[in-house]
Chain A
């Protein structure tokens, strides 16, 4: 579904990604962990071209990210959830969700509205349709952001530290929505520090450090029986 070949990314002189190779299969839930600055968010952002790789190739659902029109095509298929939600503050919840389906998929307002309401139902916020983002808690905002991404009917969902900006008591409500998605068979790539989630939901965990994939394995294997010293050190600090 996603194939990443020898991807490098440099910001000026800083070499953030140093040759990443990874393949993500359909319906797979891949969790990327690693210390800050390891390049995990950058890698995720390369998948929908919010960052342009300096070198290497990324193919998503058979579409190579080369031209502008290809990039837009991929973005229609790939939903993204951000650490800081990035809801549109001047629009209501329902407008946030229906904007892209109406503009990109050319759906009618009523058609998009029906989808929006069913998605809000799914994330448990049907009663907040007409609220503005600032009237919602962080956890609620993130759930709206997930619904907004899902409204495009993506084949892949990318999560960039979706719970890092949340108060502890709100983390679970967001993780629960993500679990539901995973159980429904959504292909997901999740950058997170939530090791419980990685263990419970992930099919595979990738550990990154200093721009490289250090180790990848089944969650239980990686957490209990890491092969690399660097991985052990990282895990000993966070588990």
Chain B
């Protein structure tokens, strides 16, 4: 078979635009996911039974159902309840953030639990409240420890964000599909799409390695 290199060159700028959108969704979703995940992760450790229960239901539901189904639920099912169409971009970001939040929550929970119990006791024995101790003592230490798993979550989200192509949102995968529909260059385009994903994920994992090394050198500061 012939490899149409010309097609790759011609499509590359369009695919790069798609890659930019992919990075955008990923960055936004993981940022919201971090915020959701921090609170839900803490809620999972709450002594208040209802709070803990709700957080657990959320995490279990999200981790126990496919992201693709969650995207459908938000894009197709939710409009029936609220009686209004949802913009694909909003739907994509919402689905990915809510999804990421559950995974990040588990990362936070594990990170917080890995901090020695004596740290909380020391904070409380000094008269600080639970939330003051959490904020100034536990979370800063936990945060450094969870950089590697958070990096993995970022990479996983970057790849999983390809799923939002099904609701017609034009990120990297969807761009590829559209170009193929026009040119029938399946082989060239999918190979190029895969290559672009690979470059992005490898870059992120190098970045995470760097951060991890930096914090390992001055581990505790």
Please give the residue numbers on chain A whose beta carbons come within 8 Å of chain B beta carbons, in ascending order: 48, 50, 72, 75-76, 78-80, 82, 84, 86-90, 99-100, 103-104, 132-134, 145, 148-149, 152
B126 touches A152 (CB 8 A): yes
A82-B121 contact given A89-B141, A132-B220, CB 8 Å threshold: yes
Give B221 Cβ to nearest chain A Cβ, in Å. Answer: 6
B126 touches A86 (CB 8 A): no
A99 to B133, CA, bound (A): 10
Q: Does B156 contact A (CB under 8 A)?
A: no
Give A88 Cβ to nearest chain B Cβ, in Å. Answer: 5
Of residues A50, A76, A103, which shows the largest number of chain B Cβ atoms within 10 Å of its Cβ? A103
Of residues B126, B129, B137, B144, which shows the largest number of chain A Cβ atoms within 10 Å of its Cβ? B126
Query: Contacting B220 at CB < 8 Å: which of A84, A134, A149?
Result: A134
Q: Does B124 contact A (CB under 8 A)?
A: yes
Number of A-B contacts (CB under 8 A): 62
A82 touches B122 (CB 8 A): yes
A86-B141 contact given A75-B126, A100-B126, A103-B128, CB 8 Å threshold: no
B140 touches A148 (CB 8 A): no
B125 touches A80 (CB 8 A): yes
Chain B residues touching A, range: 20 to 34
A87 to B137, CA, bound (A): 10
A103 / chain B contacts, CB cutoff of 8 Å:
128, 132, 136
B125 touches A104 (CB 8 A): no
Give A18 Cβ to nearest chain B Cβ, in Å. Answer: 24
B121 touches A75 (CB 8 A): no
A78 / chain B contacts, CB cutoff of 8 Å:
125
Query: Contacting A88 at CB < 8 Å: which of B119, B127, B132?
Result: B119
Query: Contacting B124 at CB < 8 Å: which of A50, A84, A99, A149?
Result: A50
Q: Does B116 contact A (CB under 8 A)?
A: yes
A134 to B118, CA, bound (A): 16
A154 to B111, CA, bound (A): 32
Query: Contacting B221 at CB < 8 Å: which of A48, A84, A90?
Result: A90
Of residues B122, B124, B128, B129, which shows the largest number of chain A Cβ atoms within 10 Å of its Cβ? B122
